Amino acid sequence: MTRYSPNLHLDGTGGVLDVTTTLIRELLRCLLIVTVALACDEVRAAGKGITDTLASPHARLHAVDIGAVRWTDGFWADRFEVCRTAMIPNMWDLLKDPEISGAYDNFLVAAGRKEGRHRGPKWHDGDFYKWLEAAAFVYATTRDEKLDRQMDQIIETIGKAQRDDGYIHTPVIIDQRQQRSGADEFQNRLDFETYNMGHLMTCACVHYRATGKTNLLRIAEKAAGFLCTTFERSPQSLANNGICPSHYMGLVELYRTVADSRYLELAKGLIDARNLVEERTDHNQDRIPFREQSQAVGHAVRANYLYAGAADVYAETGDQSLLDALERIWSDVAYRKMYVTGATGALYDGASPDGSKAHSSIQLVHQAYGRPYQLPNITAYNESCATIGFALWNWRMLAITGEARFADLLELGLYNGVLATISLDGKRFFYTNPLARVDKLPFSLRWSRRREPYIGCFCCPPNSVRTVAEVSAYAYGVSDAGIWFNLYGSSILDTTVGDGEAVRLIQQTDYPWQGMIHISLEKVPEREFSLFLRIPGWSETARVTINGEVFADSLQSGQYFEIRRLWSAQDRIELVMPMSVQLLEAHPLVEEVRNQAAVRRGPLVYCLESIDLSDDVGVMDVAISPDAKFRTRFTEELLAGVTVLESKASVLSRNGWDKALYRRISPQGMKTTEIRMIPYYAWSNRGDSEMAVWIPLRYTLQGSRLPRR
């Protein structure tokens, strides 16, 4: 197969050109054109979205091109700006500093450009690719030439680190280069080789779509080719090493990009080959065949990556047994195992199968999905990567079905679960994400209870950064029928409908602080197409006006509202979704929050922080009435600008608990206090503070005295 050769330079400098040299030059020029044409031909000229499902037979809506959406101002523009100016450069400083991380050094050593040993976790290559993916996505918007050059240099090093047969995993390559014994591939499933290569493939697709360059794509193809060959030779070896399978998503995306069906066949084969795994566990979701599963079990990051990858395979194959399993598992998560913030993976440590009568079959699992309704708050694990994996899965389910329930959870997870993982300055990160924090916890947890600038297990921080970078990729969708509004935020969208007919629209909004969405159509084709406006599940009385006149009101929440017509370039659409403060209660079997309420406004879940309470009141002392009234106030100077919720609350006594586990209830005076609640994503940005999402309810019972006999 002819490959594009970047070293082929044709323009001679000076010299007298005779006929021969002119002929040679012309020949070379023709050769270059043919070479480039062949190289381009390998890369399917299709969509350039974060996922490219335009040609996927079983996807209903598709991502718009990377770079087609530009945040203009407001919430997501601000977060993207922090990503561009702080998250990306700060993380590069960490990853390239051998005193801190070793992630980039590992590639330099593997490439033979530096002496040394591998450092950091075995999955550090994957961490590095996630950061590179974030940088590529940001480049698509900024076209920052310096960043482009920087990426090219890095990619050149990665290419040099790769073995000729396509294998790329720096821990093994470094050992092989230094001739250490026992340095063979796929010796230990916890080496995460396929996970690393999966992130390489995803990163390469995003980089290609953002830059048009194939340098990283070629490296990813070589790696995928290696996996194909390995699978032909030893399916079991690859099946055994298929934990945390980011490579299912990576392989399918690579197939979509270069139209090489071997990659899709491998992804399909790997799902079937899960039945071949020797050491089968709930931990890695392979105790029973995937198609028979109905519950989310085991390590929540590995689980959500598996589910997202299976959804990608379904989008290409239409294998109903995959979608049936995904629907069952999704319902288990959404209705029984997800936190109110959209986070998943409740437990530090669990046991599975839980409740088995056969003791010997019980296995320990860590960072795990728990039992249904088992959702502790202070000790919630909620690894940041699990929440991101759930968002990736929801995005794929949305693409497959076009159903708003998936977009609702995508939005919930992004605003609450994902944003909370990063400090507002973009430089500190949570690994676990609890829903409550108290100062005097009488035991220590495995991970820091505050955001850290660097974490020994660095899987989450670059995952969070790439997700914040890429939110615009999910904001809109396109289908044959028209344009879908999945997430709201002030932006300009340049895309196409139908046979490539241009559409440009401008969205202006103060979302998530206000529920008014103004849409101006600037460029439209001369034929009908639809706008699909998502009416979020939290919305109660949404209405739409077109050019100032009411078009529809009392819109049903939790669905897309389709407006199909012949649009004109001056049309103005307004979606009004009044935002009220809503108190939420949990299913009665969520024991930890019985008789407690969470507070939500729009897509944002709120929390209490002790810094916002008077000195003698702790977050555990506060109780609110079920009919509490809240004042909303946008405060520019607080936490990079947030709408706070203010109300009155009762104060419970927290004194007198020394040497007591239980005590008799004594009547308490109804002391009241002012409370101020902030969005959950912004907590822990003002020093250490106690925090609670769930707040006890204090009912005032009428007629609670027993009647006299």
Closer to Zn ion by CB, 106 or 433: give it: 433
| d(C-alpha 457, C-alpha 462), whole Å | 11
Instruction: List the Cα angle 103/105/109 in 5-degree steps.
Output: 125
Pick the piece of the chain touching Zn ion (CB under 5 A) from 261-269, 340-348, 382-390, 663-671: 382-390
Instruction: Provide the CA 219 distance to its chain's centre, in angstroms.
Output: 24
Closer to Zn ion by CB, 258 or 347: give it: 347
Whether 563 contacts 551, CB under 8 Å: yes
DSSP state letters, 225-276: HHHHHHHHH-HHHHHHT-SS-HHHHHHHHHHHHH--HHHHHHHHHHHHGGGG
Pick the piece of the chain touching Zn ion (CB under 5 A) from 113-121, 459-467, 513-521, 538-546: 459-467
CB of 431 to Zn ion, least distance (A): 7
DSSP state letters, 574-604: EEE----EEEE---TT-GGGTTEEEEEETTE
Closer to Zn ion by CB, 460 or 607: give it: 460
Whether 243 contacts 192, CB under 8 Å: yes
Separation in Å, CA 193 to CA 166, 183, 338: 12, 13, 29
Whether 11 contacts 43, CB under 8 Å: no
Residue showing the smallest CB distance to Zn ion in the complex: 385
Closer to Zn ion by CB, 82 or 459: give it: 459
CB of 43 to Zn ion, least distance (A): 31
Closer to Zn ion by CB, 352 or 387: give it: 387
| d(C-alpha 388, C-alpha 304), whole Å | 9
Whether 407 contacts 394, CB under 8 Å: yes
Q: What's at 174, amino acid-wise? A: I
Phi, psi torsion values for 571, nearest 5 degrees:
-65, 140
Pick the piece of the chain touching Zn ion (CB under 5 A) from 164-172, 312-320, 456-464, 550-558: 456-464
CB of 365 to Zn ion, least distance (A): 16
| d(C-alpha 228, C-alpha 266), whole Å | 6
Pick the piece of the chain touching Zn ion (CB under 5 A) from 24-32, 61-69, 190-198, 460-468: 460-468
Closer to Zn ion by CB, 398 or 460: give it: 460
Closer to Zn ion by CB, 66 or 459: give it: 459
Task: Figure out which of the listed residues 460, 524, 573, 644 binds Zn ion, where binding follows CB under 5 A.
Answer: 460
Q: Does residue 418 interact with Zn ion by CB under 5 A?
A: no
CB of 231 to Zn ion, least distance (A): 27
Pick the piece of the chain touching Zn ion (CB under 5 A) from 49-57, 311-319, 378-386, 468-476: 378-386
Phi, psi torsion values for 387, nearest 5 degrees:
-65, -40
CB of 618 to Zn ion, least distance (A): 31
Cα(first)–Cα(last) distance of the chain, in Å? 96
Three-state SS for 183-215 is CCCCCCHHHCHHHHHHHHHHHHHHHHHHHCCCH
Give the number of C-alpha atoms closer than 13 A to the C-alpha of residue 61, restricted to the C-beta side: 30
Closer to Zn ion by CB, 158 or 418: give it: 418
CB of 418 to Zn ion, least distance (A): 12
| Strand-strand pairing, 642-651 and 631-635 | antiparallel
Q: Which residues pair with 482 in a beta bridge?
A: 530
Closer to Zn ion by CB, 377 or 464: give it: 464
Pick the piece of the chain touching Zn ion (CB under 5 A) from 319-327, 381-389, 617-625, 680-688: 381-389
Pick the piece of the chain touching Zn ion (CB under 5 A) from 251-259, 453-461, 474-482, 701-709: 453-461
CA quadruple 588, 592, 597, 600: dihedral sign: negative
Q: Which of residues 19-48 bind Zn ion (CB under 5 A)?
A: none
Closer to Zn ion by CB, 287 or 302: give it: 302
Between the CA atoms of 147, 152, 157 and 158, what dihedral angle is there, to the nearest 10 degrees? 90
Q: Which of residues 474-513 bind Zn ion (CB under 5 A)?
A: none
| Strand-strand pairing, 482-485 and 529-535 | parallel
Whether 356 contacts 319, CB under 8 Å: no
CB of 312 to Zn ion, least distance (A): 20
Closer to Zn ion by CB, 76 or 458: give it: 458
CB of 101 to Zn ion, least distance (A): 15
Tokens found for residue 658: 């020394």
CB of 422 to Zn ion, least distance (A): 13
CB of 548 to Zn ion, least distance (A): 48
CB of 463 to Zn ion, least distance (A): 6
Pick the piece of the chain touching Zn ion (CB under 5 A) from 132-140, 201-209, 379-387, 465-473: 379-387
Closer to Zn ion by CB, 205 or 460: give it: 460
CB of 364 to Zn ion, least distance (A): 19
Pick the piece of the chain touching Zn ion (CB under 5 A) from 307-315, 455-463, 599-607, 623-631: 455-463
Tokens found for residue 204: 């390469």
Closer to Zn ion by CB, 459 or 524: give it: 459
Q: Which of residues 625-684 bind Zn ion (CB under 5 A)?
A: none
505: nearest Cα among 210, 517, 560, 81: 517
CB of 575 to Zn ion, least distance (A): 35
| d(C-alpha 300, C-alpha 381), whole Å | 10
Residue 410's contacts (CB-CB under 8 Å, 6 or more residues apart) are 391, 394, 395, 398, 474, 486, 487
Helices (H), 439-520: 460-469, 471-475
Whether 208 contacts 65, CB under 8 Å: no
CB of 388 to Zn ion, least distance (A): 8
Tokens found for residue 508: 């202006």
Mapping DSSP to helix (H, G, I), strand (E, B) and coil, where does residue 325 land? helix
Q: Does residue 343 interact with Zn ion by CB under 5 A?
A: no
Q: What's at 651, amino acid-wise? A: V
CB of 156 to Zn ion, least distance (A): 28
The H or E element spanning position 523 is: strand 516-523
Phi, psi torsion values for 328, nearest 5 degrees:
-65, -45
Closer to Zn ion by CB, 450 or 671: give it: 450
CB of 373 to Zn ion, least distance (A): 25
Pick the piece of the chain touching Zn ion (CB under 5 A) from 186-194, 440-448, 451-459, 533-541: 451-459
Total residues interacting with Zn ion, rule: CB under 5 A? 3
Q: Does residue 459 interact with Zn ion by CB under 5 A?
A: yes
Pick the piece of the chain touching Zn ion (CB under 5 A) from 124-132, 383-391, 497-505, 560-568: 383-391
Task: Figure out which of the listed residues 249, 385, 404, 598 binds Zn ion, where binding follows CB under 5 A.
Answer: 385
Angle between helices 261-272 and 215-233 (to 10 degrees): 50
Pick the piece of the chain touching Zn ion (CB under 5 A) from 233-241, 289-297, 377-385, 598-606: 377-385
Closer to Zn ion by CB, 458 or 485: give it: 458
CB of 262 to Zn ion, least distance (A): 30
Closer to Zn ion by CB, 310 or 459: give it: 459
Using CB under 5 A, list all residues that contact Zn ion. 385, 459-460
